[in-house]
Structure 1
Amino acid sequence: MPKGYWIAQMDVTDAEGYEAYRRANALAFSKYGGRFLVRGGASTPAEGTPRSRTVVIEFGSYETALACYHSPEYAEAKALREGRSVGELVIVEGYEG
């Protein structure tokens, strides 16, 4: 079964408020086995206009990644992120080729 990934590119507009989101999302990620592969850090734009922050989270399966996003635990965390960042989040199925 292929793994699932959250890939997010965000611009944080309220760093202090965003910290509350980061603390709260740990509950959902722990419950659903989310593991950070990329969490900010140095990046070099190669094409297009990226956001200032890139995050990649790995889950045991695509279904688990979706379940985490739609969970009550993540809904509570997401509410803390709203209005404190702008960006894109995509949930993708990994490749097992």
Structure 2
Amino acid sequence: MTAYAIAHLHSIDFGPELAEYLRRVDATLEMYGGRFLVHGGRQAVREGPHDGLVVVVEFPDLTAARQWYDSPEYQAIVGLRTSRARCTMILAEKCSPGHRAIELLGGSDAG
């Protein structure tokens, strides 16, 4: 099932390290079927504090997302990003088709 790498970057200090990361990250994604869905476009905050930007990368499945993040190729460059921005990185699997929020309640409340 499709999975996503979701990064919330905070306190971004764009410098040569981050530029090098951007030059090299695409090649690491291609090997694992990753593609950007959200990256660098306009973002509109509706709730809560927000001091950065959100990036979303789609992968064929959670295994591919994990393999990408843990790969020697990505690990060789991740420090370039983390040296210039604080980041929360989450790997998350897509919901099943027809998923409804109430299903998280389980039991008789779900249905």
**Alignment TM-score, normalising by the size of structure 1:** 0.90
User: 1:84 corresponds to which residue?
Assistant: 84
TM-superposed deviation, 1:40: 2.0
- Provide Cα deviations, 1:14-58, integer angstroms capped at 9, x if missing partner: 343211111121221011111100002111111111232110000
Q: More strand by proportion, 1 or 2?
A: 1
Unaligned runs of 5+ residues in structure 2 are: 98-111
- Partner SS state of residue 44, structure 1: coil
Identical pairs, percent: 31
User: 1:74 corresponds to which residue?
Assistant: 74
Unaligned runs of 5+ residues in structure 1 are: none
Which one is further off, 9-18 or 71-80? 9-18
The structure having more radius of gyration, on CA atoms, is 2
Give the CA RMSD over aligned residues.
Answer: 1.3
Kindly provide the amino acid, as one letter, of the partner of residue 18 in structure 2.
Y
**Alignment TM-score, normalising by the size of structure 2:** 0.79
Higher RCO, Cα 8 Å, sep 6+? 1
Moved segments of 4+, more than 2 Å: 14-17
User: 1:35 corresponds to which residue?
Assistant: 35
Number of residue pairs aligned between Structure 1 and Structure 2: 96
